[in-house]
Amino acid sequence: MFPRPRLAGITFAIAGLLAPSAAFSHAALIEAETAQAIRLHAYYDTGTPMADAQVIIYAPDRPAVPWGQGNTDSEGRFTFIPDTVEGRWSVQVRQAGHGAMAHIELHGETATVLAPTVAAGSWVQRAVMVALVAWGALGTALFVLRRKGRPDASA
């Protein structure tokens, strides 16, 4: 048997050990690690961002079943961290019947965007394309008429 003062000392010591463990049983813990993320920016060819558009992600091993879903922010941006499955990840962004698909080839630490889906181009390029189409269409029309013996469009 312990003498009374010594017993009290042992009791306090046990209480002192238990109290902190009870206080930390609901504590929040953070474990931090780095990961490779893919960041998208979806916008219309006028430059307007696709704000709050739906994003559907397909992993390489199950291309018909969505791996993840979400929404773009007000600037049309969306970020996700793919898991370790290597191969072609596909991401569709859609809104009101409009949208685009991006493909990202993932191999280890290397991620390659395979095809930008927006066929953009500067205004100069577009103007040249319009001029060429106009030239081709009208030229063909006049050629057809000339072969028929019509000198011009008003004949």
Partner 1 sequence: MHLPDGIVPVEMALAGYGASAALAALALARVKALPDPQAEIPRVAMLTTVFFAASLVAVPVPPVSVHLMLGGLMGVMLGWFSVPAILVGLFLQAVLFGHGGITTLGLNGMIFCLPALMAFGLWQLAGRRWPDLVALAAGSGAVLMALAIFAAIVLVGLPVVVDAGAERVALSIFLIAHLPLAMAEGVIVMTLLRVLRRVEPRLLPHG
Give the residues lining the site for partner 1 (CB under 8 A).
Answer: 44-46, 48, 51-54, 56, 66, 69, 71, 92, 94-101, 117-121, 126, 129-130, 133-134, 137-138, 140-142, 144-145, 148, 150, 153-155
Pairing label, strands 110-113, 98-107: antiparallel
Own/partner long-range contacts of 105-110 (Cβ < 8 Å, ≥24 apart): 106/60, 106/82, 109/36
HEC readout, 57-69: EEECCEEEEEEEE
Shortest Cβ 40–partner 1 spacing (Å): 15
Q: How far apart are CA 78 and CA 66, in angstroms?
A: 16
Q: Which is nearer to partner 1, 36 or 125 (CB)?
A: 125
Shortest Cβ 41–partner 1 spacing (Å): 16
Shortest Cβ 60–partner 1 spacing (Å): 17
